[in-house]
Amino acid sequence: MKVAQRSDYTFKYNLKLGRHGWLRLTPAYSVKLVTEIIENIPQNSFILDPFSGTATTGLVASEHGLSAHCFDINPFLIWFGNAKCRNYSTNELKNLKLGVGKSMVEWKKIVNENNWLPDIYNISRWWCQHTQKILAALRQAFVNQFGEPKEDNLSSLAWIGFCRLVIETSSAAFNHVSMSFRDKITTFEIEQVESLYQDIINRIVHSAREELSGSGSVHFVDSREVVSINDVEYSHVVTSPPYPNRISYIRELRPYMYWMKFLDTALFAGELDWQAIGGTWGVATSRLKYWEPHEVKLPESLKLVVAQILEKKENNTLLMSNYVWKYFHDMYLHLHSLRSSLKKGAVLYYIVGNSSFYGVQVPTEKILEDSLKSLGFTNIGNKVVRKRNSKKELFEYCVYGTWNSKL
């Protein structure tokens, strides 16, 4: 059976959809896919997304009048997700525009001052010195007007607009799954940056006017140690965890996080990726060499795949086998802890992708199904969502199951 690539089931579908298109993050999954999953969920349901990312699940739930809690460990994504899921009054949006207007006046007066710049490695690869100077002055004008980015504040919209500006004036290119750089860096003048920002903030404010009838919020929770917020028993889990493919979320988020002061060193970036399931940035890779699992009973299907990778005897086979082992080990811990926060009869939907190492296929959907079965879930299965944009036999699946017990 031929499986289509379905770009409408990827982040590309989100780019022109109001709040969903505020910032681009390649691994984000499709609004359309989430909508199809939740469209028949009863209104009294409470949804959990333990891998929030850009809060797609939380926002879609809010747009459909549902309640959702989302979890993440990345402080930038928590801030950003809550800003996306928040309702903004007409008066707040009016005050925001006034504040932005005042910042634009001050910005031009301080553009030749020695304003703060983020300590991004090889920053001139991203922006030329002239553009850096302009962006730094605008950032300082926003700080003077609004203060640094903070939770539950209308100024978040101004800062999200700044994040969008930062990436649109950079040399970053998004012509494949991960981020790369263009050969030539474009120099932007003040008038160009002002026009671009005004267009960005106008679009953000326009989409922020739409009232959300439901409730979505993002919380700092490690997905390996799931807790209930306010003792809620979740009736549905709708999520897309990282795939076991060594694509680092932190890599693409770095420019935003540095400029917004959610990140100040490469070491912290590596530490954050080490905490994330499937993270491989910096120190997260070097620590894999010495990582040892907890004593948990993992599926035989995982042990077989790990053994096959080790048999290849290529460079870094031990590292990659440890990576695969740790990914599913952490996912097992996640599913194990999840059970105590689920309502009896809770239904799970996990959008996941398989992967390949040294020609060895890693059947993510099969290993997760086996983990669910060993932990007492029932009605377990999967269906293919789409073929991913690759020559390899890589697909996305929806793995599902039901929790019918009480711990």
Q: List the structure tokens of 379.
A: 């009605």
DSSP code of residue 231: G
Distance in angstroms (rounded) separating the CA atoms of residues 233 and 124: 49
Distance in angstroms (rounded) separating the CA atoms of residues 372 and 400: 9
- The pLDDT value recorded for residue 174 is 67
Q: Is the dihedral of CA 316, 317, 318, 321 positive or negative?
A: positive
Q: Judge whether 244 and 365 are in contact, CB under 8 Å.
A: no
- The pLDDT value recorded for residue 290 is 86
End-to-end alpha carbon distance in the chain: 41
Q: What are phi and psi of 206, to 5 degrees?
A: -60, -45
Per-residue exposure over 123-152, b if at least 16 CB sit within 10 Å of its own CB, e if not: beebbbeebbbbbbbbbbbbbebbeebeee
- The pLDDT value recorded for residue 176 is 55
β-strand partners of 348: 237, 401
Distance in angstroms (rounded) separating the CA atoms of residues 105 and 110: 10
pLDDT tens, the chain, 407 aa long: 567 667 766 666 667 778 999 988 766 788 999 999 999 899 999 999 999 999 999 999 999 999 999 999 999 999 999 999 999 999 999 999 999 999 999 999 999 999 999 999 899 999 999 999 999 999 999 999 999 998 878 899 999 999 999 999 999 876 555 667 787 889 999 999 999 999 999 999 999 999 999 999 999 999 999 999 999 999 999 999 999 988 777 888 889 999 999 999 888 888 898 999 998 878 888 888 888 887 888 999 999 999 999 999 888 898 999 999 999 999 999 999 999 999 999 999 999 999 999 999 999 999 999 999 999 999 999 999 988 866 668 999 999 999 998 66
Residue with tokens 């699940």, as numbered in its chain: 57
Which residues fall within 8 angstroms of residue 332, CB to CB, at 6 or more apart? 296, 298, 371, 375
Question: What single letter denotes the amino acid at residue 199?
Answer: D
Distance in angstroms (rounded) separating the CA atoms of residues 236 and 230: 16
Chain centre distance of CA 248: 10
Domain range list for the chain: 7-86+213-403, 90-208
- The pLDDT value recorded for residue 390 is 65
Q: Beta strand pairing status for 180-181 and 172-173?
A: antiparallel
Q: What are phi and psi of 355, to 5 degrees?
A: -155, 180
* Of 397, 320, 393, the residue nearest 353 (C-alpha): 397
Please spell the DSSP secondary structure of 292-325, one letter per residue. Answer: ---S----HHHHHHHHHHHHT--TTHHHHHHHHH
DSSP code of residue 237: E
Q: Beta strand pairing status for 215-220 and 342-353?
A: unpaired
Q: What are phi and psi of 298, to 5 degrees?
A: -90, 155
Q: Considering only the top CATH level, what class is 7-86+213-403? A: alpha beta
β-strand partners of 216: 68
Which residues fall within 8 angstroms of residue 322, CB to CB, at 6 or more apart? 288, 289, 291
Question: What single letter denotes the amino acid at residue 209?
Answer: R
